[in-house]
Amino acid sequence: MRSSRLTIILAICVFALAASAQRKPIEWTDQQKPIVDAIKHLRSVPDDQRGKVTRDLALQIRQLPPSDNKLELANALASLSTEGDFGHDTLQEVATTLAETLKLHPGPQKSGEPSFPYMELASLVRYEHVQVSLDDPQYENAMAKLEADDQRRANADFTLSDLNGHPWTLKSLRGKVVVVNFWATWCPPCRKELPDLEELSKRFKDQGLVILALSDEDIAKVKPFVEQRNLTYPVLLDTGGKVAKEYDVDGIPKTFVYDRDGKLVAQAIDMRTQKQFLEMLGKAGIK
């Protein structure tokens, strides 16, 4: 989970990765530079304003002429648009911008797999329920990959130890509602949702809710972080990111909810608010 793909969540890292791949710095036009700066600082925008700012940026990007730079901007904005609850209309504008950009400037295919912008767009459509029109084999392949990923996650099982050495096995928790949350101490959106997960864990413990938080970091880093924040739900050590690979987690946070029968009923591709977590838990019968 320490792969470079994870850092795509950070727009500035997206730009750096692209520049590295091209072996030369990206040259932003005067029209693009204000958008670049706004995306870099999007996380500092208050949540009650971030939806509008994101929508405005999507519209500004849509007006740019087709280019590699435009695709980088559309993709970076999409990566940041799901960090919370900024409204369906916002996500729709972001997805429309990315889809229209790909229509005019298709992304390169890598090793026979869809490139990241297509996976980002497919994730918005499948998990955030937006609608786009894009007749492109890479997009179709991206949607098919997500379907296959979900099939594996639906049948997943693992055994990992918590910070006290106690083992937890997913399928042994049948009869309970289980939330599997992939996170890391260095991840800003992960840290932002921790208090809500803690509150939900305490609130619904008597209803059989179990939250399992998986990190691939060393215990020396994770344990003091958890103790400092007084987190009481199980934090499991996914050494080497083996379970994350089985779930095909290439960006965090990501959350999966299993109902009492062990059925995968909800998932989140990014940070969720407490309201969004409650909606997910509702699909598992917890209200």
Q: What is the pLDDT of residues 42-66, one digit of tens each?
A: 999 999 999 999 999 999 999 999 9
User: 78 lies in a domain?
Assistant: yes
Compute CA distances 26 → 17, 35, 38, whole Å. Answer: 10, 14, 17
**C-alpha 239: how far from its chain's center?**
20
**Cβ atoms of 212 and 162 closer than 8 Å:** no
C-alpha 12/C-alpha 33 separation (Å) is 12
Whether 10 and 127 map to the same domain: the answer is yes
Whether 47 and 93 map to the same domain: the answer is yes
**Cβ atoms of 256 and 267 closer than 8 Å:** yes
pLDDT at 3 over 80: no
Band of residue 109 on the pLDDT scale cut at 50, 70, 90: confident
Choosing from 151, 173, 203, the residue where a domain stops is 151
pLDDT in tens, 5-39: 334 444 444 443 444 344 468 899 999 999 999 99
Choosing from 151, 183, 217, the residue where a domain stops is 151
Whether 21 and 111 map to the same domain: the answer is yes
Whether 169 and 262 map to the same domain: the answer is yes
DSSP 33-48: HHHHHHHHTGGGS-HH
C-alpha 102/C-alpha 73 separation (Å) is 12
* Token pair in block for residue 90: 């916002």
Q: What angle do CA 279, 282, 286 make, to 5 degrees?
A: 135
pLDDT at 97 over 50: yes
pLDDT of amino acid 218: 96
Residue type (1 letter), 108: P
- Alpha-helical (H) ranges within the chain are 11-22, 33-40, 47-62, 68-81, 88-104, 116-128, 137-154, 188-203, 219-228, 242-246, 274-282
pLDDT of amino acid 24: 67
Whether 113 and 29 map to the same domain: the answer is yes
Whether 137 and 257 map to the same domain: the answer is no
User: 8 lies in a domain?
Assistant: yes
Whether 164 and 130 map to the same domain: the answer is no
pLDDT in tens, 120-141: 999 999 999 999 999 999 999 9
CATH code of the domain covering residue 248: 3.40.30.10
The total number of structural domains that make up the chain? 2
Whether 171 and 79 map to the same domain: the answer is no
C-alpha radius of gyration, the chain, whole number? 19
pLDDT of amino acid 102: 97
* Domain range for 84: 4-151
Question: Residue 263: how many CB atoms within 10 A of its CB?
Answer: 11
**DSSP secondary structure code for residue 173 in this structure:** G
Whether 120 and 194 map to the same domain: the answer is no
Bridge partners (DSSP) listed for residue 113: 110
Choosing from 92, 118, 151, the residue where a domain stops is 151
Whether 168 and 84 map to the same domain: the answer is no
User: 278 lies in a domain?
Assistant: yes
Q: What angle do CA 21, 26, 27 make, to 5 degrees?
A: 160
pLDDT of amino acid 89: 98
Whether 17 and 118 map to the same domain: the answer is yes
Band of residue 94 on the pLDDT scale cut at 50, 70, 90: very high
Ranges assigned E (strand) in 45-85: none
Overall average pLDDT of the 260-272 stretch: 97
Whether 137 and 265 map to the same domain: the answer is no
pLDDT of amino acid 226: 98
Q: CA nearest 162: which of 228, 216, 225, 235?
A: 235
